[in-house]
Amino acid sequence: MGLPPKEDQSEMFNVDDDVEKLSELRKQYFTSSGNDKEKIIGNFTIAQKKLVQNYMKSNASDKRAIKLANWEPFSDQSSDWFDLEWMYGIHNGFDIVIANPPYINIKNQNKKIKKYIKNNYLYSRGADIYVAFLEQGLKQLKKNGNLIYIIPNKFFGADYGKDIRNYLQNGAIEINSIWNLIDEKVFADALISTVVIAIIKRSKRNPTKLIKKDQVTLVDNLFDNFGKIQIEANSADTIIINKLVKNRKLNEISSIRTGIMGFEYWKMEPIIQNAGHLNNKKIPIYTNGNFKKYIDNWGSSIITLYKAKYQKPTITLDKNFLNNNTIDLFNTSPKILVRGVSNQVSGIIDNVGSGLLVAVHSVIPDQINDIIWLLGLINSKLINWFHLKTIYSIRIPQGSLKYPVSFFENLPIVEPKNKKLFNQNVSRIISQNKTNPQTNTKQLEDKIDLMIYKLYNLSFNEVKIIDPKIENIISKNDYEKFEIG
């Protein structure tokens, strides 16, 4: 919080003089040394007492005067206000700002903090609190000054980081360098990926240095077509990504929704059972633990819910716990279920109408006949690569990858002319896995991947960037001859 503005009241004449005296003493303190500093500290205390006396005699109210009278600038006592000139004798900003700000997410911020940020910040409303610290640091920086922060990389792609990213992209800001610490456990208890970001407050922009372990890469433009910061893709990757994103998005031909949110999870315990018996009011429930790519493990794998083990978890469609929209979503079939946390993009088809717990999303095509080839596309190497190059950095260090709803919404989609051929191959994988989940379906998956590369009009050299081992599957000559009809 800044120091309140000066009150414009005639009754405050003597108080204004006292405040001016405090200001003059602070200026003298910054340029003095030795015994002179001690004398100034004593005079400052005397001036504060005089300020209090004159304030008590006046009939006016001046919050600025009150705060200055109670301020202890020569002690370690914290202050509930901040002012560059009063505290540091600085008029036009700091030369350097270094910080490791708190990482408190929006859900854990109290109402007072949320209200203050909403009223006083331009780019941090609704964001995790470190974004407000980043905005404030940039505000306090002088022209050509340097800012160095260690912060989560989540704002690179999160919706709440849109405003601060827009400022970084279009303001008088140079992102000088980013140290990618994604695979480093910087803080023992933090389940978050961090970066060290170095920013210079100037209009001239040089290429950004991306640093990961011992590798340094120069990048002319960190921002993708959606205004997100990308630190995993190189220039060759970017060319392919820009080619892909010219296509329409998955949310233009499908409805994409997530399951029960995290804050609702604990409320659901009374209606989730290990019953296995299904009817029109009791349906299967899926988590990230009972399905993977093409494989439905409901009823065969054991998952943990509410500190208990479940093999055939069901959820009762009780309107006391679930709203009508959620019940309608759960009852919808067929639909594609996709994992929100995994080590690769993973989806299955739900043919019975099932519930979705935390971090499980649904894809419901507008045309139900599109569901099989869409599943093949979602489970493909191309889409997995697209995720690694656009969303990969937003993950738990040395842990699972995250697949937010926004990732699926923005998937680039090319609709095949020969849907029958795609459907036949995807259906064979589903059938074989249903008969025996241990079946090796790699050959079929490779064929689908080749069809998808051709569908997106990718050259063999582009495919080699996506899959460096492609020559183990097909030669360049055979790829160029390969047709999907």
| Structural domain contains residue 464 | yes
> By the 8 A CB rule, do 132 and 102 touch?
no
Residue 371's nearest CA partner among 352, 357, 351 is: 351
> By the 8 A CB rule, do 83 and 140 touch?
no
- Determine the Cα–Cα distance for residues 249 and 413; give it in Å rounded to an integer: 6
| Local confidence pLDDT in tens for the 485 residues of the chain | 677 776 655 455 577 888 899 999 999 999 999 899 999 999 999 999 998 888 887 766 778 888 898 999 998 888 888 888 899 888 889 999 999 999 888 888 889 999 989 999 999 999 999 999 999 999 999 999 999 999 988 888 888 999 999 999 999 999 999 998 876 767 766 667 789 999 999 998 999 999 988 889 888 888 887 888 888 777 788 889 989 999 999 999 999 999 998 778 889 999 999 987 888 899 999 999 999 999 999 999 999 998 899 999 999 999 999 999 999 999 999 999 999 989 899 999 999 999 999 889 999 999 999 999 999 999 999 999 999 888 865 555 555 688 989 899 999 999 999 999 999 999 999 999 999 989 999 999 999 999 999 999 999 999 999 999 999 999 999 999 999 87
- Determine the Cα–Cα distance for residues 83 and 181; give it in Å rounded to an integer: 33
| Structural domain contains residue 196 | yes
Determine the pLDDT at residue 234. 76
| Structural domain contains residue 87 | no
Structural domains in the chain (count): 3
Q: Is 431 left (phi over 0), alpha (psi -120 to 50) or beta?
A: alpha
Determine the pLDDT at residue 226. 80
One domain for residues 42 and 128:
no
| Structural domain contains residue 236 | no
Determine the pLDDT at residue 277. 82
> By the 8 A CB rule, do 361 and 258 touch?
yes
One domain for residues 423 and 286:
yes
DSSP 399: S
The residue length of the chain stands at: 485
One domain for residues 292 and 161:
no
One domain for residues 68 and 152:
no
Instruction: Identify any residues that bridge with 199 across adjacent strands, giving them in sequence order.
Output: 147, 175
Which of the listed residues 175, 195, 229 is the one where a domain comes to its end? 229
User: What is the CATH number for 464?
Assistant: 3.90.220.10
One domain for residues 356 and 386:
yes
One domain for residues 46 and 134:
no
One domain for residues 310 and 450:
yes
**Alpha-helix runs per DSSP H in 58-202:** 63-70, 84-88, 111-120, 129-139, 162-170
Domain ranges, residue 19: 10-81
| Structural domain contains residue 294 | yes
| Structural domain contains residue 244 | no
One domain for residues 30 and 177:
no
Determine the pLDDT at residue 193. 79
- Determine the Cα–Cα distance for residues 299 and 471; give it in Å rounded to an integer: 39
| Structural domain contains residue 409 | yes
One domain for residues 328 and 387:
yes
User: What is the CATH number for 209?
Assistant: 3.40.50.150
One domain for residues 29 and 157:
no
The pTM of the full predicted model, rounded to 2 decimals, is 0.72
Determine the pLDDT at residue 10. 44
One domain for residues 73 and 96:
no
Which of the listed residues 81, 103, 123 is the one where a domain comes to its end? 81
Which of the listed residues 28, 48, 81 is the one where a domain comes to its end? 81
- Determine the Cα–Cα distance for residues 421 and 429; give it in Å rounded to an integer: 13
- Determine the Cα–Cα distance for residues 96 and 149; give it in Å rounded to an integer: 11
One domain for residues 178 and 311:
no
| Structural domain contains residue 239 | no
φ, ψ at 433 (rounded to 5°): -70, -30
